[in-house]
Amino acid sequence: MIKEVSTSMKYIQTYLDRIQKGKFKKSLKFGQYCPVCMALHYHLVDISETAALTHAAEYRGHYFKMCDENHLEMFLSTPDQFVTPGCPHTLPKPHLLPRKLTEIHVKNRFPQQVEMKGYCPVTYLDGKQRYEALVRGKMEYAVEYRERIYIFETKEKRDKFMRTPETYWAQKLPIKVPPLSEPVHLTSLPTLGYLEQGVAEAVIKAMTAAGCLKPKHPYLSLKRSALSYVALYLKAFNHRSTDSIRQMYKKKLASFEENCMLIPYLSTVMKGNYRPPSERPIDFEFKLNRFLALSDLPGANGVQLD
């Protein structure tokens, strides 16, 4: 009995070793595409980037890889539906399969030009081929199909093309297309335009935070408190600064916020009749002393932005 188990384990180990050494890939009947997606939707779902064999199955001496657990269960329940001759669709020839390209691959294909003058074929067709749907693709999302190069607006649209390239590849552009837009340098913009393009987002976030907190720092006016808070916020979240600088100003911002909370705290605790020290909150003396100490600090009563 032990000998039989040992022999069986040896066969299993040999089988697994052969899979790991690459013999699995040589026997892939559908290549690196999900046969269930092909049979049900005629979609080319490439799973070559998934090295794990979690959703793989063996049938009639060949291996098949599925895209997910659901399709694996469907394949195992009725495999004949997804293999020849039961499968309604067959995998296209290798030269008719789409292939992802890197930016370097595209540049190395010069002087070959990208199709559709660089406009995204998926955005254009899904946008009912309207003029407004003519959107430039990005070189980082490039695909080769039928020896032609296409570039796409987003990764999702590139993946959509790769699933059904026949739907998108043979489009014709209209006679009139949007003019090429030249990059505009920030320094060439007028002051207002420069601020809108350069710092608008950061300022909006800082002012939104100030609006939510409504800061009133001890011994400062409302205007000075708001301006000081916005300044500290911008310094604390300036992505051009080093991590150490940002951390330093984040601590200053947190301290400023704590100081602003002293006024509502003290006004609440000190309301009403006199209370002996034993009946006061445990942190009352500390916060009161902190409040009074702020009046003695230099720099407009204690706010240091440098």
Does residue 273 contact residue 267 with C-beta atoms inside 8 Å? no
User: How far is the C-alpha of 245 from the C-alpha of 237, rounded, in Å?
Assistant: 10
User: For residue 219, what are the contacts with CB-CB under 8 A and spacing of at least 6?
Assistant: 294, 295, 301, 302
Residue for token digits 């009639």?
60
Pick from 148, 166, 46, 41: which is nearest to 101 by CA?
A: 148
Neighbours of 215 (CB within 10 A): 24
Residue 45: predicted pLDDT = 85
Mean pLDDT in order along the chain per 10 residues (306 residues): 62 55 53 82 81 77 81 83 78 86 88 90 94 92 93 94 91 86 67 79 93 93 94 93 94 95 89 83 88 75 56
User: How far is the C-alpha of 156 from the C-alpha of 141, rounded, in Å?
Assistant: 9
b (16+ CB within 10 A) / e for 41-67: eebbbbbeeeeeeebbbeeeeebbbbb
3-state secondary structure (DSSP) of residue 83 = coil
Does residue 256 contact residue 303 with C-beta atoms inside 8 Å? yes
Residue 304: predicted pLDDT = 60
Rg (CA), the chain: 33
pLDDT in tens, 194-238: 777 778 899 999 999 999 999 999 999 999 999 999 999 999 999
Q: Which residues pair with 101 in a beta bridge?
A: 142
User: How far is the C-alpha of 70 from the C-alpha of 55, rounded, in Å?
Assistant: 9
Residue 26: predicted pLDDT = 44
Q: Name the residue type at position 131.
A: Y
Q: For residue 211, what are the CA distances in angstroms to 165, 168, 171, 226, 257? A: 50, 48, 50, 9, 13
Question: In the chain, where are the structural domains located?
Answer: 23-91, 95-168, 188-302
Residue 127: predicted pLDDT = 94
Q: Which residues pair with 152 in a beta bridge?
A: 138
